[in-house]
Amino acid sequence: MLFNSYVFIAFFLPVALAGFFASARLGRASAAAWLVMASLVFYAWWNPAFLPILIASILINYGMSEIVAKSGHRPALQSALLALAVGLNLLALFYYKYFFEVAKFLTQGVGFEVHADPILLPLGISFFTFTQIGYLIDVKQGVAKERGFLNYVLFVTFFPHLIAGPILHHREMMPQFAEKLTYRFSLINFSVGLTIFVMGLFKKTVLADPLGGDITAGFNMPGDLSFFGAWWVAIRYSMQLYFDFSGYSDMAIGLACMFNVRFPLNFNSPFKSQNIIEYWQRWHMTLTRYLNQYLYNPMALAVVRWRSEHGFGTKRANQKTLGGFLSMTALPTLMTMALIGLWHGAGFQFLLFGLLHGVYLTINHAVRIFRGAAPENPSPRAARLSRILNIAATYIAVVVGLVLFRSRSLEGAITMYQSMLGLHGFAFSIGKAEIIWVLVLATIIWGCPNVQQIMGKFGPALTKVEAFSKRLPLIWRADASWACAVGVMLAISLMAMGGTSEFMYFQF
Amino acid sequence: MLAQDDIGRKALLSYLATFLVCVAVVLGISWLYTSTQRSRFMETGYAVWDAKRTMVSNCDVGQVAVFGDSRADSALIPDRLKKVATNLAVAGGTPIENFFFVKSVLACESKPAIVMLSFNPGAFEIIQPWLWDNSVGYGALGWQEVSEIRHEAERLKDASYLAVTPKLGIDGIFRDAAYSHGFPGIYFNSLLESRLMGKTAMNRQKFDEVVMARGYPSYRRVAQVAGAGATKVQETARFTPLPIQQSYFEATLALLDRAGITTYFLITPYNTTNVNTHNQPYNAAYMAYLHRLDAKYPRFQLLQSKPPVWEQAMFVDGAHLSQEGANVFSRLLDRCIEGAAENANLGGGCNFDHPDQSAKVVELLVAKAKK
């Protein structure tokens, strides 16, 4: 079921909400059970055949987590059990997400015949698998304290995050599900949640979806695009993805809020970033956090240990040496980013997308480490100019990377890059109305506060964001002007919803 | 739980109430605009429909009324017929909606002497989303009609009807309710594309053109869509009409029969490049189905014994005749009808593929048209 569908807005959400708070009168367990059932219906709506996969994944992971927890007195066995559990998760993920593509590559590329039929990807498998792997690791490390079965199932299946994130951490969710107040209807949470949901819906249906048509055509035939056409398509795609993911993230936070639950922030105006490090701290924030916690940090730590054991320095000064930088910064960064790329899909273009960002990040780190501090007290004008240039450079780097992300194949991406370099001519055929619309979108991206900044006073997400501007204090209030503005947004979104597409991150 | 709870309950209730009122007001205004001002923002296809519907509501259909799908819509130029004719075929038309159009025409005092029905075989086999996007969305069919169709589908246990998902993305009874009551979401893309009212002049011009041409909208050649309009039929496919389409087609024939109107079934030319053309068993089954109906309804006759096959040059795409092709076809049809008037019963005698009657005539007419 899509958040941006009539059936969700008109039937599922009201029934889920009413049932949750009504059943809460019978006790927390019944309310949690209701929400689990509602979430399973939500998941099964698209394709009921995938429901057993989700249920099996939950049962196996919960069972394994309990065994891992109870084997704490035998650390070697515990580690082996954890490895087995994580391995099973990764195997399932590999089978559904990568097996067909790998088999195709082996058969067509290497000549080693492996028979495989295309496998339909269960919705949200990357998200619920990663969530549960994180839980398993934390159970092993003794970090997971709240381990009740019902709360665990609710933590994994809670429908606002089930299909496309954010990737939740049990430490931030399980206590909320154990909290009494979560089960009591709150008018302010409902109002704030509804407002955020509507803003997200508007971004998705009115700002993101109408950009789609030309983008698909452009990426299908990149060789037909001129220099301007190719950049135009790439920029429009970056905006479509931006508003799609931003809209989804807002809707997820808004929905959770209606149920008195707060999610971590997943999207924080990433195109306002002044460098790539900052970009990844603002884009798909929970994936970055997850991979930092469970991949980058352990890897970096292992390198430090290795260097220490082999007599190499591990201090900040050692990071400024070429060997120190390459082993302690570049290697973990590149490996983590390659995996982020592959997390999005099995094609080579995704691997290259990750590696390209790995290179960006490595350069960014190198500049920070080797160049030293920026000049102090620049004039306000110079600071503003530098800020604008940094944002522009970061955005262009992101757009270049997104070509790999969106292209149907590596060949398609290369052809698109050729067009972007002007190898297929410089014809200009962009309509005035299209330019105006993209300028409007650009103003929203770079010139307006984001939803969290507008609603931040009410703490709808677990992560705080800094205020947008003192000169433009656009803060939500429960008054008539805001009610009308949000009402108009919902009315337009309801009209624009017909035939809108699924969220782009659903495919991952 | 939110940290801040400094807004009173009254303020929040007032916020939610104002919010709902604003949603209702914007939807209401949009609803009013989209139901009454469609020609200002709809694509030109709407103007074509509107023109045909206006002719029907004015009971201005002449002696020969043609009903059918887009192939018939593109193939018949009423002016080329000696009798006063009207082309009431519509893009995406199937027997279902045409039953209601025929019903409206028969409600007129002056009824046509001849009715021609023309559907490609695919029109019997599926229910197109266009039934809602066009027929219902354009206002030709209302809640009463779609409810009747739904009940008929339920009676026939034909699940295909309820499963169709048109542009709005919903199915079943909610789809019927939304479309028949003109929910403004149906028109959102058109509103956006026309920037609310940018199609007024274009639609007025198209409306006038179609009324002047007695229902014929000129089809323009479209680049890179050679297969457009052709229902994809695999070589192994069998002709399998849907119960609901059969039911409405027979209901139409029964209606016309009771009204004492001679009814011809007309097969518009197939394109040589179209895969459907070469599936002989499929076409034979289609003809057998029509022959069965020919035998069942005394006033219903097939004009041809087999589908005519014409060269690609006469089409704008894979299925629709160009103006030139329509010109030729309409003249051949005129001869056929005039012959029918003389012989009373053609018995499938108008074979447009027959060398004497078709190829040479086509050749001559093409030459004439080019002059």
Mean pLDDT within B89-104: 93
How many C-beta atoms surround the C-beta of residue A123 within 10 A? 23
* Interatomic CA distance for residues B268 and B32, integer angstroms: 40
> For position B235, what pLDDT does the model report?
53
Segment A98-109 shows an average pLDDT of 81
pLDDT greater than 80 at residue A135:
yes
| The pLDDT of residue A109 is above 70 | yes
- CB-CB under 8 Å, B18 with A191: no
Q: Which amino acid is at B281?
A: P
Instruction: Please choose, from the candidates A207, A374, A199, A354, the residue with its C-alpha nearest in 3D space to the C-alpha of residue A280.
Output: A354
How far apart are alpha carbons B301 and B299 in whole angstroms?
7
CA distance A154 to chain B (A): 17
CB atoms within 10 A of CB A481: 9
Task: Count CB-CB contacts under 10 A for residue A336.
Answer: 23
The secondary structure element, H or E, covering residue A439 is helix A432-447
User: Pick from B342, B339, B341, B343: which is nearest to B352 by CA?
Assistant: B339
Question: Mean of the pLDDT values across residues A107-136?
Answer: 84
Is pLDDT above 60 for B227? no
How close, in Å, is residue B40 to chain A by CA atoms? 18
What's the average model confidence in pLDDT over B118-145?
A: 91
Do the Cβ atoms of A246 and A283 come closer than 8 Å?
A: no
Please list, in sequence order, all residues whose beta carbon lies within 8 angstroms of the beta carbon of residue B38, skipping any fewer than 6 positions away.
B46, B50, B138, B139, B187
Task: Measure Cα distances from A179 to A32, A184, A193, A231, A265 in Å.
Answer: 11, 10, 19, 50, 21
Nearest-Cα distance to chain B for A259, in Å, is 9
Choose among B18, B27, B185: nearest Cβ to A498: B185
Cβ neighbours of A490 in B, within 8 Å = 19, 23
Q: In angstroms, what CA-CA distances link A140 with A57, A68, A87, A153?
A: 18, 6, 15, 19
| CA–CA dist A302, A319 (Å, integer) | 15
8 Å CB contact between B7 and A471: no
pLDDT band, very low/low/confident/very high, at A381 (cuts 50, 70, 90) = confident
Chain B residues near residue A458 by CB distance under 8 angstroms: 2-4
| Closest residue by Cα to residue B329 from B65, B71, B56, B32 | B71
Residue type for position A219: F
DSSP character for A506?
G
Inform me whether the pLDDT recorded for A232 exceeds 50. Answer: yes
User: Which one of A2, A173, A176, A187 makes the best mutation probe of the B interface by having the most chain B beta carbons within 10 Å?
Assistant: A187
Looking at residues A371-395, what average pLDDT do you find? 86
A189/B303 Cα distance (integer angstroms): 70
Contacts of B21 in chain A (CB under 8 A): 487
Q: Is residue B354 scored above 50 in pLDDT?
A: no
Spatial distance between the Cα atoms of A169 and A176, rounded to a whole number of angstroms? 12
Predicted confidence (pLDDT) at residue A52 exceeds the cutoff of 60:
yes
Residues in chain B within 8 Å Cβ distance of A14: none
The per-residue pLDDT for A86 is 93
Report CA dihedral (A69, A73, A74, A79) to the nearest 10 degrees.
30
How large a percentage of chain A has pLDDT more than 90? 64
For residue B280, what pLDDT is reported? 82
10 Å Cβ neighbour count for B184? 23
Cis before residue A166, ω within 30 degrees of 0? yes
Residue B167 has its nearest CB partner, among A262, A491, A499, at A499
Which chain A residues have a beta carbon less than 8 Å from that of B19? 194, 483-484, 486-487, 490
CA proximity to B86, closest of B69, B107, B65 = B65
N-terminal to C-terminal alpha carbon distance within chain B:
81
Q: How confident is the model at residue A506 (pLDDT cuts 50, 70, 90)?
A: low
> What average pLDDT does range B81-105 have in this prediction?
93
CA-to-CA distance for B12 and A216, rounded, in angstroms?
43
Identify the band that residue B114 occupies on the pLDDT scale cut at 50, 70 and 90.
very high
Lowest mean pLDDT among A73-82, A468-477, B19-28, B141-150: A468-477
Give B245-279 pLDDT, tens digit per residue.
999 999 999 999 999 999 999 999 988 877 666 78
CA A339/CA A344 separation, integer angstroms: 9
Answer yes or no: are the C-beta atoms of A250 and A203 closer than 8 Å: yes
Distance CA B97, CA B149 (A): 9
pLDDT at A44 over 80: yes
Q: How far apart are CA A214 and CA A216, in angstroms?
A: 5
3-state secondary structure A387-399: HHHHHHHHHHHHH
| Confidence at residue B128, expressed as pLDDT on a 0 to 100 scale | 87
Residues of B in contact with A486 (CB under 8 A): 19, 22
> Which of B106, B108, B59 lies closest to B86 in space, CA to CA?
B59
Closest CA to B288 of B237, B240, B226, B358: B240
Taken in order A322, A325, A327, A333, the sign of the CA dihedral is negative
Residue A38 burial (10 A CB sphere; 0-12, 13-18, 19+): buried
Whether the pLDDT of residue B341 is over 60: the answer is no
Cβ B150 vs Cβ B161: under 8 Å = yes
Q: What are B132's two structure tokens?
A: 């809602």
CB B79 within 8 A of CB B213: yes
Dist CA B139 CA B50 (whole Å): 9
Angle of the A297-309 helix axis to the A331-344 helix axis, nearest 10: 150
Residue of B nearest to A434 (CA): B193
Please provide residue A421's backbone torsions phi and psi, each rounded to the nearest 5 degrees.
Answer: -90, -5
A188 → closest Cβ in B5, B20, B188? B5
Q: Taking CB atoms and an 8 Å limit, are B23 and A460 in contact across chains?
A: no
Residue-wise pLDDT for B12-38, tens only, equals: 999 999 999 999 999 999 999 999 999
| pLDDT band at residue A400 under the 50/70/90 scheme | very high
B165 touches chain A (CB under 8 A): no
Q: Do B185 and A494 touch (CB under 8 A)?
A: yes
A-interface mutation test, from B9, B26, B168, most A Cβ less than 10 A away:
B26
B113, containing H or E segment? none
Whether B4 sits inside 8 A of A186 (CB atoms) is: no
For A269-303, the pLDDT digits (tens) are: 999 999 999 999 999 999 999 999 989 999 999 99
pLDDT tens for each residue of A330-342 = 999 999 999 888 8
The whole-angstrom distance between residue B74's C-alpha and the CA centroid of its chain comes to 11
Residues of A in Cβ contact (< 8 Å) with B194: none
Closest residue by Cα to residue B95 from B204, B206, B201, B246:
B246
The angle at the Cα of B28, spanning B23 to B31, to the nearest 5 degrees, equals: 125
Residue pair B124/B293 in contact (Cβ under 8 Å)? The answer is no
B24 secondary structure, DSSP code: H
Q: Please work out, in degrees rounded to the nearest 5, the angle formed at the alpha carbon of residue B226 by the alpha carbons of B50 and A221.
A: 105
CA distance readout (Å), A63 to A58, B45, B76: 8, 60, 71
Q: Which of A210-219, A373-382, B29-38, B354-363 has the highest mean pLDDT?
A: B29-38
Q: Which residues contact A76 (CB under 8 A, 6 or more apart)?
A: none
A506: closest CA of chain B, how far (Å): 18
pLDDT category at B4 given cuts 50, 70, 90 is very low
Interface of A with B (CB under 8 A): 5-7, 176, 179, 181-182, 186-189, 191-192, 194, 210, 257, 260, 262, 433, 457-460, 478-480, 482-484, 486-488, 490-492, 494-500
| Closest C-alpha among B235, B218, B240, B129 to residue B175 | B129
Q: What pLDDT score does A343 carry?
A: 84
Summarised one tens digit per residue, pLDDT across range B191-211 is 988 888 889 999 999 999 999
- For residue B14, which residues of chain A lie inside 8 Å, CB to CB? 478, 480, 483
**Residues B167, B183: Cα–Cα separation, whole Å:** 12
CB contact under 8 A, B26 and A488: yes
Residues A216, B71: Cα–Cα separation, whole Å: 30
Mutate to test the interface with A, among B15, B167, B225 (most CBs of A within 10 A): B15
Per-residue pLDDT at B179: 93
Does the interface ipTM go beyond 0.90? Answer: no
User: Mind giving me the DSSP string for B309-357?
Assistant: EE-GGGBSSSS-B-HHHHHHHHHHHHHHHHHHHHHS--SSB--TTSIII
- Provide the pLDDT for residue B225: 40
Predicted confidence (pLDDT) at residue B327 exceeds the cutoff of 60: yes
Q: Is the pLDDT of residue B362 over 60?
A: no
Residue ranges of B 175-204 with Cβ closer than 8 A to chain A: 184-186, 188-189, 192, 195
Name which of A5, A487, A498 is nearest B186 (Cβ-Cβ).
A498
The residue of chain B with its CA nearest to that of A479 is B15
In the structure encoding, which two tokens stand for residue A369, read together? 């480490």
Chain B closest CA to A248's CA: distance in Å?
A: 19
Kindly tell me if the per-residue pLDDT of B224 is higher than 50. no
A178 contacts in B (CB within 8 Å)?
A: none
Q: Chain A residues with CB inside 8 Å of B10's CB?
A: none
Place of tokens 């094609």: A347
Compute the nearest-CA separation of B159 from chain A (Å): 19
Please determine, for residue B366, whether its predicted confidence score (pLDDT) is greater than 60: no
Cβ(B258)–Cβ(B252) under 8 Å? no
Q: Is the pLDDT of residue A42 over 90?
A: yes
Closest residue of B to A8, CA-based? B170
What are the residue numbers of the active site of A? 344
Q: B223 in contact with A at a CB cutoff of 8 Å? A: no
Question: Taking CB atoms and an 8 Å limit, are A496 and B185 in contact across chains?
Answer: yes
> What tokens appear for A281 in the block?
């701290």
With tokens 């699940």, the residue in question is B159
Cβ contact, residue pair A484, B3, below 8 Å: no
Q: CA–CA separation, A5 vs A498, rounded Å? A: 8
A/B interface, count of CB pairs below 8 Å? 111
DSSP states along A454-472: HHGGG--BSS------SSS
**Cα(B2)–Cα(A457) distance, integer angstroms:** 9
Who has greater pLDDT, B363 or A79? Answer: A79
The DSSP letter of residue A210 is G
Q: Which residue from A179, A458, A495 is facing B4, i.e. has the nearest CB?
A: A458
